[in-house]
Copies of this chain bind each other. A is one copy, B any other.
């Protein structure tokens, strides 16, 4: 976790300045201890309870979030906006920045330092890896990364892990299978890195050219987590407690015949689901473009829309935590 910032950064009524999340940036899944994760999940559970019972709270009434998106991401930006609003706070939506003056010549640090004059917390989505770290270095108010290029997307990693915990009641002892483009999928890397801290078995299912990078694999084996790799989802589904599916993008293949040959192995159908455990979770970060058939949606194990919903609870928990109000 990055270093705490100076005390004058948070306006508002009596934030809990003692708490370890107060004033912190959220820029990498690597910053969390297992204890941190347990704490965030407990707060997320509370947020879910509030939303289900009464829709919203006034916890962040009077707080302002600057939602700064240098590239479009309707899903993530909407999730953060709803999270802030259900906490009673308000949002400055700064989307489509590519068309705006902040992209003309001004440095990211200056933009960040300007926005923190207006807002209490900044969510940043940026196309370049490392942008969140730079923003966090210059900001005196908390920065929450909403993804930077091929770098991290830490809140996605947290919501994925929280979904496993929510769906199955535990993380330790599970068998997690990840499917699809494991090479380029940053959600896969973030989730794998978080799972490293738990007693899990991992299976990675991907065509040869889209296998998990060696550095991520190395981190897992170093942490003592058993890792298996295979090429067909049929071989992994039966023992999976979690099946985490991602897109296999056509354009990653040099030879389209290779793509046509493998894509069927990565399409989840009702037939395939009939071979899975009765109690398991089928996940996907969405959007999907054919990896999970629509007629799987009614399967009670299809967890991907609950996963979306969990994203809002996780973001509510993080916003409340970094503002000292969790």
Total interface residues in chain A, CB < 8 Å: 59
Neighbour of A13 across the interface among B54, B102, B117, B287, CB < 8 A: B54
Contact A64 B82 (CB under 8 A): yes
9-residue interface stretch from A105-113, A202-210, A225-233: A105-113
Contact B55 A73 (CB under 8 A): no
Contact B287 A102 (CB under 8 A): yes
Least Cβ distance of A47 to chain B in Å? 12
A95 to B95, CA, bound (A): 10
Neighbour of A114 across the interface among B12, B81, B308, CB < 8 A: B308
A93 at the interface (CB under 8 A from B): yes
A92 at the interface (CB under 8 A from B): yes
A55 to B308, CA, bound (A): 31
Which chain B residues lie closer than 8 Å to A105 at the CB level? Answer: 287, 289
Of the listed residues A11, A63, A66, the one surrounded by the most CB atoms of chain B closer than 10 A to its CB is A11
A1 at the interface (CB under 8 A from B): no
- Knowing that A12-B55, A64-B86, A114-B308 touch, tell me 7 more A-B residue pairs with CB under 8 angstroms: A56-B61, A56-B62, A78-B92, A78-B115, A104-B287, A109-B294, A118-B309
For the complex of A and B, list the 6 residue pairs with the smallest distance between their C-beta atoms, beginning with the closest: A56-B62, A82-B118, A106-B287, A11-B55, A72-B100, A117-B309
